[in-house]
DNA sequence: TAGGCCATCTGGTCCT
DNA sequence: AGGACCAGATGGCCTA
C-alpha cells in the first residue's frame, strides 16, 4: 500500500516539490549503514523505559520514569516558581506532582509520535533501511500533499467515468465511435477529434485519458 | 562548527 | 482538582 510504485514518478516529485530542503535532506541522509541508526528504532514502548531509548543520554531523561529521580536540588528546586504558587506545598508533594505531569506529557508525546509513525507507514516514500525516516514536519507536509494528490486523482477518475458513460450511451445509439463524439461531457467544450489539449482535464494531461496519451 | 531534528521538562491555559 | 494541550527552553545527537 505505502509503496512508491503506487504513485507515478512525476507525481511523487511534485509531492516532494513543496518540501524543500527538509524532505530532500531526509532522503539524502541515507548514505551509509549508520544513516538510519537512530531512526530505525521501533516506536517507543507503551510503558516508557529510559534504558530502551536511543536518546537516553539526554540529561533530562535521567529524571524520567516515575520514581527514578533522586531529587536534584540544582535542577528543580521548589524555588523555581517565582510566582510563589508552589511555595506553600511540601517539596516532596511538588516534586511528585511534577513527575506525574512530566510522565503524562511524555506519554502524550509518545502517542503523538506513534501516530506520526502510523502516518509515515501509509504515505508513499522510500521505506528502505538506507533512507532516513521522515522528519515530523516532512511527514505532515508530505501527507498533506499526498491527500491533495489523491483527491485530484479521484476527481480525475470521476470525470473519466462520466465521460466513458456518456460515450457508451452515444455509441449504443450509433452516433459516433467512442473518442470521436462531438459531445463532450463538459458544457461548452466541443472537442475536435484530435484536441490540442484535452479539456476533460483542465489541470493538465492525464494518463487515464486517451486524448492525453495518444500522440497525433 | 553550525544547523537541523529530536526528547524532555516546564509553566500556562482551557476543559471536564 | 486533575488532565489535555500547547509553546518555550534546554541539551544531545547527527550531518554537511
Q: Separation of CA A84 and C1' B12 in angstroms?
A: 15
Distance CA A3, CA A155 (A): 22
The answer to whether A37 CB sits below 7 Å from nucleic acid chain C is yes
CA-to-CA separations, A204 to A61, A96, A200, A207, A209, in angstroms, rounded: 52, 61, 9, 10, 11
**Which residue shows C-alpha cell 531523561?**
A61
Which pLDDT belongs to residue A35?
30
Mean pLDDT is lowest, of A86-90, A148-152, A181-185, A195-199, for: A181-185
Q: What is the pLDDT of residues A178-216, one digit of tens each?
A: 333 333 333 223 333 333 333 333 444 444 444 444 433
Which band of pLDDT confidence, cut at 50, 70 and 90, is reported for residue A158? very high
Average pLDDT over residues A157-186: 62
A72: cell is 536534584
Q: Whole-angstrom Cα distance, residue A164 to residue A211?
A: 13
- Rounded distance between C-alpha atoms, residue A174 and residue A151, angstroms: 35
Percent of all residues in chain A with a pLDDT value above 90, rounded to a whole number: 10
Instruction: Kindly provide the residue ranges of all beta strands, DSSP E only, lying in A59-199, ordered along the sequence.
Output: none
Pick the more confident residue, A79 or A144.
A144
CA A213 to chain centre: 30
The pLDDT value given to residue A155: 96
Q: What is the mean pLDDT of chain A?
A: 55
In angstroms, the CA of A29 and the C1' of C16 are apart by: 10
Nucleotide nearest to A112 (CA to C1'): C5
Tell whether the model's pLDDT for residue A114 goes beyond 80. Answer: yes
Residue written as cell 511534485? A14
Run of H or E residues at A97: helix A91-122
**Residue A94 in grid coordinates:** 511538588
Closest CA to A185 of A172, A198, A204: A198
As given in the structure block, the three cell numbers for residue A157 are 477518475
**A115-CA/C9-C1' distance, Å:** 25
Average pLDDT for A33-52: 32
pLDDT digits (tens, 9 = 90+) for A55-80: 333 333 333 433 333 333 333 333 33
CB of A123 under 7 A from strand B? no
| pLDDT at residue A170, rounded to an integer | 66
Backbone CA torsion sign across A169, A184, A213, A10? negative
Is residue A144 over pLDDT 60?
Answer: yes
Packing angle between helix A136-172 and helix A9-17, nearest 10 degrees?
140
Cell numbers that stand for A16 in this block: 516532494
Mean pLDDT of A14-43: 33
Q: What is the mean pLDDT of residues A87-109?
A: 79
* Distance, CA of A108 to CA of A106 (rounded, Å): 5
Block residue for cell numbers 489541470: A203
Confidence band (pLDDT; 50, 70, 90) for A115?
confident
Instruction: Report helix, strand or coil for A147.
Output: helix
Amino acid at each position: 500500500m505505502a509503496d512508491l510504485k503506487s504513485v507515478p514518478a512525476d507525481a511523487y516529485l511534485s509531492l516532494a516539490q513543496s518540501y524543500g530542503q527538509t524532505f530532500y535532506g531526509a532522503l539524502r541522509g541515507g548514505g551509509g549503514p549508520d544513516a538510519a541508526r537512530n531512526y530505525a528504532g521501533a516506536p517507543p514502548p507503551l510503558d516508557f523505559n529510559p534504558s530502551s531509548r536511543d536518546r537516553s543520554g539526554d540529561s533530562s531523561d535521567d529524571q524520567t520514569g516515575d520514581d527514578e529521580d533522586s531529587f536534584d536540588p540544582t535542577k528543580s528546586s521548589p524555588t523555581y516558581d517565582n510566582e510563589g504558587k508552589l511555595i506553600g506545598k511540601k517539596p516532596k508533594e511538588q516534586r511528585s506532582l511534577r513527575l506525574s505531569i512530566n510522565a503524562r506529557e511524555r506519554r502524550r508525546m509518545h502517542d503523538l509520535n506513534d501516530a506520526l509513525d502510523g502516518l509515515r507507514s501509509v504515505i508513499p516514500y522510500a521505506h528502505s533501511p538506507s533512507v532516513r525516516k521522515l522528519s515530523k514536519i516532512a511527514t505532515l507536509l508530505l501527507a498533506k500533499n499526498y491527500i491533495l494528490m489523491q483527491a485530484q486523482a479521484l476527481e480525475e477518475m470521476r470525470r473519466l467515468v462520466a465521460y466513458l458513460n456518456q460515450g457508451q450511451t452515444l455509441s449504443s445509439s450509433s452516433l459516433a465511435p467512442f473518442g470521436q463524439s462531438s459531445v463532450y461531457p463538459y458544457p461548452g467544450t466541443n472537442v475536435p477529434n484530435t484536441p490540442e489539449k484535452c479539456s476533460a482535464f483542465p489541470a493538465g494531461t492525464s494518463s487515464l485519458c486517451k486524448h492525453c496519451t495518444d500522440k497525433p
